[in-house]
Amino acid sequence: MLILRCPNCGIDADETELAPGGEAHLRRVGPEASDDAFEGYLFHRENPRGVHFERWRHAAGCGKWFHAARCTQTLEVFGTYSAQVTDPPQDIRDAITARRPGWRWRDIE
């Protein structure tokens, strides 16, 4: 059972209280973008075996969105953080580096 600490209300929420929201930090491309870029934004998804960043909603709790950093190979949780950032904060990156030196996700390392 996956347990994530909701950074909005501080509760350790188990999976049944949470709604998964898919890949984190998607960047919408502008109207002048190429078809390739639009395809990437709309359909292509990071699907790593290892470090992954996701959006979650504390659906049966405070109802608010947040971000989580997880390992899809072991289900280890590296940490959760605010939904109101466009990149993972440094403390989360450090927590991942401590456990997975040399990790990389998109162009973030």
Partner 1 sequence: MKRYSAFAIAREALRGHIGWERAWRSPEPKAQYDVVIVGAGGHGLATAYYLGKNFGITNVAVLEKGWLGGGNTGRNTTIIRSNYLQDPSAAIYEKARSLYETLSQELNYNIMFSPRGVLMLAQTEHEVRGYRRTAHANSLQGVKTEFVSPDRVKELCPIISLEGPRYPVLGALWQARAGTARHDAVAWGYARACSDMGMDIIQKCEVTGIRTEGGKVSGVTTTRGDIGCGKLGIVVAGHSGVVAEMAGFRLPIESVALQALVSEPIKPCMDVVVMANTVHGYMSQSDKGEMVIGGGADGFNNYTQRGSFHHVEETVRALVETFPIISRLKMLRQWGGIVDMTGDRSPIISKTPVENCFINCGWGTGGFKAIPGSGWAMAELMAKGASPLADGFEMHRFREGRFVDESVAAGVAH
Residues in contact with partner 1 by the rule CB under 8 A: 1-2, 15-16, 19-20, 22-23, 35-36, 38-40, 42-49, 52, 54, 70, 72-75
Binds 82: which of partner 1, Zn ion, none (CB < 5-8 Å by kind)? none
Residue 92, C-beta contacts closer than 8 angstroms, at least 6 positions apart: 69, 78, 79, 81
Nearer to Zn ion, 58 or 93 (CB): 58
Nearer to partner 1, 67 or 70 (CB): 70
DSSP string covering 49-78, please? SSEEEEEEE-TTTT--EEEEEEETTT--EE
